[in-house]
C-alpha cells in the first residue's frame, strides 16, 4: 500500500487506484513545452494520464489568447469543464497559459469553478497545491516521445507591438538563470533527447534582465554547446533588431547550433510597420537577412506576415509581396489581421480592410511563397543533406529535418530515430523533400 493522500473529497490510498490527470493544450510551442513540464510534475506525484477529463481527478486547460478566436476556444473548454464539475465536485480544475496574467486578472469572478490559476510559465501555485495535499516527489524533466524537446529560456516581451496581447498576459521579459537552463538541458540529454529548441517570445533578448555579469543568448549557447550528447540546438522566436553581427559570428563556430531563424517581419511597408509598433524598417530587415546569409551560408529563415492591418493599402500590400518574392524565405506564416481586444491597435485603429480582401491578400501571398519555396526546394534535388531522424512510421517511412529546418521523408529503420543520417534528395515539393539514405549514419551514441 502507498501512503494515502487527499484531493477534494477523494482519498487515494491503494497503489492500484492512482489519481489521473487530463491536460488540454491550445496554442504555440511555449504552451506545449509548459504543458510537458506540468505533466512531468503530476507524474512525479503519482498521477497517470486519463483518456478524457471525465475520467480525471485533475483537469488542466493551457489556454492560448494570441487571437480572439483562440481565446474563445479555450474559454469554451473551460466552461464545459466547469459544468461537468457541478456534478463531479471532487474534480480539481486548473487553468494556465496566456489567459492567466502575472497579476490578478479577476479570473476567479469570471470562472468561479476553477480551483487553480497558474500564470503562464509559473508552476509554483501547482507546487503549493501539491504540498497542501500531501503529495511528494515531482519531476522537473518532461518525458518526450521523440528525440527533440522544447526548452523555455525566457518569458514575456518588452516590445510594444500594437496588435499583440502577449506582453500584458506574460509580462515583461524574465530570463531563466543559465545554470538552470544548462542543468535541465543535461537532464534532457540523459533521458535520450538529441535536439533542444530554446523558446522565448523574444529569445534573443535572453539574459538582458539577469543581474551581475553580462549574459546573453550567445553565452547560453556556448554553455549548451558543451553537452556532448546533444546533436543539435535550435532557438525561436527572434526579434529582428536583437540579432547582432557578433551573435552571428558566435553562431558560425558553434557547431551544434543550427543555422535556422524564425524572424517575423509582419509587413513589407515602413508605414505599416510603424503602425504595428515594429522598431525597424524594411531596408533594415532586408540588410539583416543578407547579413545572416553572408555569415551562415545555407541558413534557413522563416517569417510571419499579417495582411490587412488597419490602413494597409493595396500598394503597401504589394510591397509585402515584393519582400516575400525577393528574400527567399523557407516558409511564411500568413495571418489576416483581426482586432485583439486589449491591444493598442484594437483601441485606436479602425479595422478598415474588408474580410474578403484580407482573404484575397492571404491567398495571393501564399501563392507567391509557394513559388519561392518550390524553386528553393528544387535546387536541392540531387544533393545530399544531413537529417536528424525524428520518427519512423510502421511502414518504414522516416521523417526528420535538415539543420536549416527543411522537412525530409525517406525509407528508414526504427533504430535510426534520434540519429543524424545522410539523405540523397530525389524529389522536392514547396514544403518537404524526399529521398533515400546515403552514406550511412553521421553520428552514433
> Residue 13 has what pLDDT?
37
Regions of the chain with pLDDT less than 50:
1-16, 440-445
Query: What are the pLDDT digits (tens) for 186-232?
Result: 999 999 999 999 999 999 999 999 987 668 999 999 999 999 999 99
Buried b (16+ CB within 10 A) or exposed e, 21-54: bbbebbbbebbebbbbbbbbbbbbbbbeebeebe
Q: Does domain 5-132 have CATH number 3.40.50.2300?
A: yes
User: Could you give the residue ranges of the DSSP H alpha helices within 62-143?
Assistant: 68-87, 107-110, 124-132
> Residue 67 has what pLDDT?
79
> Residue 102 has what pLDDT?
75
> Residue 245 has what pLDDT?
95
> Residue 385 has what pLDDT?
96
Q: pTM of the full predicted structure?
A: 0.88
Please state at what angle helix 355-378 crosses helix 314-327, rounded to 10 degrees: 10
Spans of all domains in the chain: 5-132, 148-378, 384-441
> Residue 195 has what pLDDT?
97
Q: Does domain 148-378 have CATH number 3.80.30.20?
A: yes
Q: Which CATH superfamily is domain 384-441 in?
A: Nucleic acid-binding proteins (2.40.50.140)
Query: What are the pLDDT digits (tens) for 300-347?
Result: 999 999 999 999 999 999 999 999 999 999 999 999 999 998 899 999
Residue 401 near residue 195 (C-beta atoms within 8 A): no
> Residue 208 has what pLDDT?
92
Q: Is 211 helix (H, G, I), strand (E, B) or coil?
A: coil
Amino acid at each position: 500500500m502507498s501512503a494515502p493522500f487527499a484531493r477534494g473529497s477523494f482519498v487515494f490510498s491503494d497503489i492500484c487506484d492512482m489519481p489521473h490527470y487530463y491536460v488540454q493544450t491550445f496554442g504555440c510551442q511555449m504552451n506545449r513545452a509548459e504543458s510537458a513540464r506540468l505533466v512531468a510534475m503530476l507524474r512525479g506525484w503519482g498521477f497517470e494520464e486519463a483518456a478524457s477529463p471525465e475520467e480525471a481527478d485533475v483537469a488542466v486547460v493551457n489556454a492560448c489568447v494570441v487571437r480572439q478566436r483562440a481565446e474563445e476556444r479555450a474559454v469554451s473548454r473551460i466552461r464545459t469543464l466547469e459544468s461537468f464539475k457541478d456534478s463531479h465536485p471532487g474534480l480539481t480544475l486548473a487553468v494556465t497559459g496566456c489567459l492567466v496574467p502575472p497579476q490578478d486578472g479577476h479570473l476567479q469572478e469570471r470562472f468561479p469553478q476553477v480551483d487553480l490559476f497558474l500564470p503562464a510559465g509559473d508552476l509554483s501555485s501547482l507546487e503549493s497545491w501539491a504540498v497542501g495535499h500531501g503529495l511528494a516527489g515531482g519531476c522537473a524533466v518532461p518525458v518526450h516521445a521523440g528525440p527533440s524537446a522544447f526548452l523555455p529560456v525566457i518569458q514575456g516581451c518588452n516590445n510594444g507591438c500594437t496588435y499583440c496581447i502577449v506582453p500584458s498576459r506574460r509580462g515583461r521579459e524574465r530570463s531563466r538563470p543559465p545554470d538552470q537552463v544548462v542543468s535541465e538541458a543535461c537532464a534532457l540529454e540523459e533521458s535520450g533527447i538529441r535536439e533542444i529548441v530554446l523558446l522565448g517570445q523574444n529569445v534573443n533578448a535572453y539574459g538582458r534582465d539577469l543581474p551581475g555579469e553580462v549574459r546573453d543568448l550567445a553565452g547560453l549557447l556556448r554553455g549548451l554547446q558543451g553537452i556532448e550528447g546533444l546533436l543539435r540546438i535550435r532557438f525561436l522566436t527572434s526579434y529582428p533588431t536583437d540579432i547582432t553581427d557578433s551573435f552571428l559570428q558566435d553562431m558560425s563556430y558553434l557547431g551544434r547550433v543550427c543555422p535556422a531563424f524564425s524572424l517575423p517581419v509582419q509587413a513589407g511597408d515602413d508605414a505599416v510597420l510603424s503602425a504595428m509598433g515594429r522598431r525597424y524598417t524594411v531596408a533594415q530587415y532586408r540588410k539583416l537577412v543578407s547579413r545572416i546569409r553572408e555569415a551562415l551560408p545555407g541558413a534557413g529563415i522563416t517569417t510571419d506576415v499579417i495582411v490587412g492591418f488597419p490602413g494597409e493599402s493595396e500598394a503597401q500590400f504589394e510591397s509585402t509581396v515584393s519582400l516575400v518574392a525577393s528574400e527567399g524565405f523557407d516558409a511564411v506564416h500568413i495571418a489576416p489581421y483581426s482586432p485583439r481586444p486589449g491591444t493598442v491597435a484594437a483601441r485606436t485603429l479602425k479595422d478598415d480592410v474588408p474580410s474578403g480582401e484580407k482573404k484575397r491578400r492571404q491567398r495571393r501571398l501564399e501563392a507567391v511563397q509557394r513559388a519561392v519555396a518550390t524553386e528553393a526546394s528544387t535546387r536541392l534535388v540531387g544533393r545530399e543533406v544531413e537529417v536528424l531522424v525524428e520518427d519512423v512510421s510502421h511502414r518504414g517511412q522516416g521523417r526528420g529535418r535538415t539543420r536549416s529546418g527543411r522537412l525530409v521523408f525517406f525509407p528508414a529503420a526504427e533504430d535510426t530515430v534520434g540519429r543524424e543520417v545522410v539523405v540523397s534528395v530525389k524529389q522536392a515539393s514547396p514544403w518537404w523533400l524526399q529521398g533515400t539514405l546515403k552514406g550511412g549514419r553521421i553520428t552514433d551514441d
